[in-house]
Amino acid sequence: MKRILIAVVGHGLHAKKKHLKLAEEVGKEIAKRGGVVLCGGRSEGIMDAVAKGCKSMNGLVIGILPESDRSKVSKYVNIPIITGMGFARNQILALSCDAMIVIGGGVGTLTEMAYAYAYSKPIIVLKGTGGLSEKFVGKYMDEKRRIRVRSAKNARSAVELAFKLSKVKG
């Protein structure tokens, strides 16, 4: 059975405590359903929190890092992918996932969303988390109308929607 890979993206250093708690809940929900967390892999912000939540439920976390060394890898990441590619690693993250959950975020998160959109991957934004991502809820990101950006009110509904919209079959 193929495991569903859910990318979770959002603020790094500027994540608020409530967003970190939400990311941790998302990680737990993904692990409960047997999914795999894909994230930026660093020991900061949403990346670290979602990894922590997933790992607390004995889930699997893959971190796709922009650096060329392991110095910033979260202690909760099971498999670090060291790319040395900077923001270009966002394309790998988006292309590798089956769906993406967004918690706030700035321009880096926006690039991850744009890549997911370009590859027609489902994108679910958590309501009330702010950042650039919420500007796209209920909309298409361009005139190609590939996929409509969805929203969810909490961690459980975001993960349920991500699994439902994923095109992966077990």
Looking up residue 50, the CATH number of its domain turns out to be 3.40.50.450
pTM of the full structure:
0.96
Can you give the pLDDT at residue 131?
85
Tally of domains in the chain: 1
> At 125, is the secondary structure helix, strand, or coil?
strand
Annotate 67-85 with DSSP letters as a single string: SSSSTTB-TT-SEEEE---
**Residue 52 φ/ψ region, left for φ over 0, alpha for ψ in the -120 to 50 degree band, beta for the rest:** alpha
Can you give the pLDDT at residue 168?
67
> Of the candidates 101, 26, 28, 98, which has an alpha carbon nearest to the alpha carbon of residue 58?
28
40 is in which domain, residue-wise?
A: 5-165
Per the domain annotation, does 144 fall within a domain? yes
Give the pLDDT of the chain (170 residues) as one tens digit per residue.
689 999 999 998 889 999 999 999 999 999 999 999 999 999 999 999 999 999 999 999 999 999 999 999 999 999 999 999 999 999 999 999 999 999 999 999 999 999 999 999 999 999 989 888 888 999 999 999 999 999 999 999 999 999 999 976 54
> Of the candidates 126, 83, 146, which has an alpha carbon nearest to the alpha carbon of residue 109?
126
Per the domain annotation, does 105 fall within a domain? yes
Q: Are 115 and 102 in contact (CB under 8 A)?
A: no
Per the domain annotation, does 113 fall within a domain? yes
Per the domain annotation, does 170 fall within a domain? no
What six digits make up the tokens of 76? Answer: 């909760």
